[in-house]
Structure 1
Amino acid sequence: MVRRGEHIRRPPQPRDASKRVCPQQPPGVSMTKTRIAVIGAGWISQEAFLPAVHQTDNAEVIALISGSAEQSRKLADFHDIPDVVSYEAMDSYLASGKVDAVYIATPNSLHADQAIRAAQAGCHVLVEKPLATTEAECQAMIEACETAGVHLMTAYRRHNEPGTIDMLTRIRDGEIGRPNLIMSAFTAQMAADNHRLSASHWGGPLQDLGVYCVNAIRHIFASEPTEVIAMQSFGDNDPRFEEVHQSMSATMRFPGGRLAQFTVSFGAEPRDTLHVIGSEGALSLDPAFKFEYDVTRTLHRGETVVDRETQPSNDDFGSMITYFADCIQNGTTPENDGRDGLADVVILRAIERAAETGQPQSIDLPPRPSHPGPDTLRRVPRSSRRLVF
């Protein structure tokens, strides 16, 4: 039996016809609501996912799967969730026919095992980023979901919110000419007891924050990097960073002579920005990645601000959940699928090697078949209903 905290990755198995498999709806035909089991009742579930579900009209949470029964029961009562399930009972519950999909919000080292088990139970899978800790784990997750005939979606919520889609559309429409340079920063102060500072969970700001920068850069350039260089810092005797780096800076080379740079840190004032400089102008988002704040987009021509707009308030998690449920109910493959998450893990691992060795690292990835756009956009009003411990 799999116990809480164990990391067991099972290889994909052929689908047993006797097992329950989540229904695939014909195009244009919708379920009432997609029934989601949330795996992991930590901060991101409390602060963002559970409140956001109330704002959707096509999804509902029907179970919390967690190692803390008391805390989960309080959350379940607050959010009108009928079932609280232990990790030990997860497999039987997912195979019971009650669940259409899972949202996995556990430490990075647990993603692959839990996703594969959910797929084998016939459930669609939405996984927090990074998708997993290694390329092999990502591949196993993709194969398991393909074998089971279920969707695997990486939780890139920015693919569904208005500010990011507005910026991407403007760039593709030529508003700043050819995008040539990208610069980004994402920083925070991380509490000493947070699992994101644990090497055993593949923690660190590169994995937790850098994945936002890498994914955004790839989709802005609409291509994959060919080479990376990087430098890391472990701070100035800060005991929080005995296992993981405090800060990381990376430069990525893209086809056509384009370059992108980003810096992330768990030991700096919280900030997140994104700047795209083109041949005829520059666009920026500030904040660029956080879900708690409204996104402001600024257009520069030279040193002059010619346009600035703050997007109306939107619940980014609500947008992501709505899109995920739409894909399930309409039988369409998510744009931000498992291979999108795999590409970022390949790049993050290359950046790690570059920082550790001091040598450039080559990357060879297939082109993406699609990118975020108006078809992935969902507008959902922001929720104020939340319980956070």
Structure 2
Amino acid sequence: MLDWIDSYDERDWQTTTDGTVRYALLGLGWWTVDVALPAIESSDLGDVTTLVSSSTEKAQRLAEENGVDHGISYDEFHDGAASEAYDAVYVGTPNAYHLEYVETAADLNKPVLCEKPMEASIERAERMVEVCEDADVPLMIAYRMHTDPAVRRARELIEDGFLGEPVSVYGNNSQPLLEMIPDPDQWRLDPDLSGYGTSVMDLGIYSINTTRYLLNRDPVAVQSQMSSHHDAFDDVPDERSSAILVLEDDVKMVTTDSQHAHEDTNLKITGTEGQIEFQPAFHGQATLHLSRGDLSVTVEHDAFDAEREMEEEFDYFANCLLTDSDVYADGRHGLTDMRIVQAIHEAAENDDVVEL
């Protein structure tokens, strides 16, 4: 166990330290400007050379403020402006706009790192995958938990049998969205932009996807309930959501999510021999708790806030591109999450079990 802790923060995925991937960042909201951009600039293998926004003026202003060479509009991006200045594209727009920018990136032969959930509907997500596969362009979905040391080390322990046989999973992800962004007209509360809803699409996907990654098992059936109470959530069905999922090998999972609650992130996996818990689990600063028999260990890494998680993710993506390696998670992996999210909403609407 001591050897395992000594190597806790090691990048077990990194195979090169040579080369740089130049990024165009699309969608200049607070996440891209305040988190993704500085994450790339502090990374080992990346550089931001182009910013893309709704207007040339905004893009150029932010480019000048952040020392980036090019600022262009979405229309200019579609026309191929500055395409020689960047090697890959990061898409951080609202969900329903992802496809159109990925299509253009594929036409320009640019690899894509696309935020999750990958689109607003399964149909549009399927089109995204097809476009990239037809163009032979790498498409990676931005599940940053995959490169968090706590998650990677936990996956190793699970593979080595620390849990015994996995039995059950509990995940929760909640946050006070209207305190974070005090705008009832924001895009996460608009189903035309967010997709099926808000809490499951934006928050529940963390518990679901991280569990898929840790256990290497996918859900086969789901039942759920959801409701909305606050006026700002009138157009979305899932201000509060809960779901029961059955994963392969009969592993049971309960997941709860809310965009209008006290901030809390938790993921707990219990097996026949032990238990692994992340508390907090998501959005940076994941803390790992291990229990088995008389053993009880807590491992913290406070330096891994959201920006540091993104730094790891961008360097992982760049490492794959520079070494011509397959990306994980790819578009097909992201499609599975889209099907799960749709099934949760369908189960709630029909008050029935939905099989996957």
TM-score normalised according to structure 1 size: 0.81
Partner of 2:219: 225
Partner of 2:62: 75
Partner of 2:301: 311
Say whether the 8 Å CA contact 2:151–2:214 is kept in structure 1: no
Aligned residue among 242, 261, 274 for 1:268? 261
Aligned positions, number: 331
Say whether the 8 Å CA contact 1:197–1:240 is kept in structure 2: yes
Q: 2:62 & 2:255 partners in 1: Cα distance?
A: 37
Say whether the 8 Å CA contact 2:275–2:291 is kept in structure 1: yes
| Structure 1 SS opposite 2:80 | helix
Shift of 1:163: 1.2
Q: 2:137 & 2:77 partners in 1: Cα distance?
A: 18
Partner of 1:173: 160
Aligned residue among 71, 76, 93 for 2:80? 93
Q: RMSD between aligned alpha carbons?
A: 1.8
Partner of 1:331: 324
Cα deviation, 1:16-54, whole Å, max 9, x if unaligned, reads xxxxxxxxxxxx888631111000000110221011012
| Structure 2 SS opposite 1:342 | helix
Aligned residue among 347, 353, 357 for 2:350? 357
Partner of 1:8: none
Letter in 2 for 1:274: L
Whether 1:297 aligns to 2:288 is yes
The within-5 A match list for 1:116-155 is 116-155=103-142
Say whether the 8 Å CA contact 1:94–1:118 is kept in structure 2: no
Partner of 1:52: 39
| Structure 2 SS opposite 1:111 | helix
Shift of 1:166: 1.2
Stretches of structure 2 that go unaligned for 5 or more consecutive residues are 1-14, 179-183
Shift of 1:160: 1.0
| Structure 1 SS opposite 2:219 | coil
Letter in 2 for 1:295: A
Partner of 2:207: 213
Shift of 1:115: 0.7
Shift of 1:296: 1.2
Partner of 2:187: 195
Stretches of structure 1 that go unaligned for 5 or more consecutive residues are 1-27, 364-389
Q: 1:262 & 1:212 partners in 2: Cα distance?
A: 10
Letter in 2 for 1:222: N
Cα deviation, 1:244-293, whole Å, max 9, x if unaligned, reads 121110111122221011100011001101001111111101111113xx
Q: 2:82 & 2:51 partners in 1: Cα distance?
A: 15
Say whether the 8 Å CA contact 2:61–2:71 is kept in structure 1: no
RCO (CA 8 Å, sep 6+): is it higher in 1 or 2?
1
Letter in 2 for 1:157: R
| Structure 1 SS opposite 2:119 | coil
Partner of 2:334: 341
Say whether the 8 Å CA contact 1:30–1:330 is kept in structure 2: no
Q: 1:256 to 1:240 in 2, by over 3 A?
A: same
Q: 1:180 to 1:143 in 2, by over 3 A?
A: same
